[in-house]
Structure 1
């Protein structure tokens, strides 16, 4: 799959999860997604990075808590599901509370569906934790 198609498909999917505030960065091609509830917007759930250095989906497992290591466990989970190793594909600093999925590994409809199911699961967990 073309990376632009992956970006577009993920953008549509993230917006379909529920009320979402989508913001675009001023200096880069990146879109941030914050779920919205009756009490206002939550912290950022996901980011689509279109910059050459990144070209990936970032899921913010514990936004606002950079000391959390939960992202490392979730990273291993998505790597097993989609069969890739992020450290072999990207050389930027990986934050411990975030999960990175390069666009180029989504090379089939099957992988896109696996990623969507993974995102939905993490969204539901994110939303439940924020409502507590």
Structure 2
């Protein structure tokens, strides 16, 4: 599976989790997914980033809280689950409320399945706690 096909598969998967507001930046291939479950404003849940230096599925684990430190703890769990080290694969500055899963890690079908299950669990967690 190529990264482009994987990107398309993840796009469809994220859209299938529930009603989403989907936004795309004008300058890069970055697509944001914001659940529309609630009447109030809800922060972005996930981003598919196809930009050369990123190429990641980004989960916003403490959406709307850029000062959060939940991201690194959950990043460690995801890395153990999928067998990668984000510091080795990507050199960009990480944010404390985000978890990064490089697309090349998801080319393995068992990793893709595990990442989708994890992502669905995070989606259910945030949409049922707000």
> With structure 2 as the length reference, what TM-score do the two structures score?
0.95
Aligned-residue offset at 1:41: 4.7
Structure 2 spans left out of the alignment, 5+ residues: none
- The correspondence of residues 69-84 of structure 1 with structure 2, limited to 5 A, is 69-84=69-84
Greater CA drift, 95-104 or 108-117: 108-117
Instruction: Give the paired residue count.
Output: 130
Check conservation: 2:37, 2:127, Cα contact below 8 A: no
Query: What whole-Å deviation, never above 9, does each CA across 1:81-127 have from its counterpart, x for those lacking one?
Result: 10000000000000111000000011222111111101001111111
For the residue of structure 2 that corresponds to 1:64, the secondary structure is coil
Query: What whole-Å deviation, never above 9, does each CA across 1:49-80 have from its counterpart, x for those lacking one?
Result: 01001000100011221211111111011101
Root mean square deviation, CA, Å: 1.1
Structure 1 spans left out of the alignment, 5+ residues: none
> With structure 1 as the length reference, what TM-score do the two structures score?
0.94
Distance 1:97 1:40 in 2: 21
| Matching residue of 1:26 | 26
For the residue of structure 2 that corresponds to 1:101, the secondary structure is strand
Distance 2:89 2:109 in 1: 21
Greater CA drift, 87-96 or 108-117: 108-117
Distance 1:27 1:3 in 2: 20
4+ residue stretches of structure 1 with deviation over 6 A?
none
For the residue of structure 1 that corresponds to 2:26, the secondary structure is coil
1:104 aligns with 2:104: yes
- The correspondence of residues 1-132 of structure 1 with structure 2, limited to 5 A, is 1-130=1-130
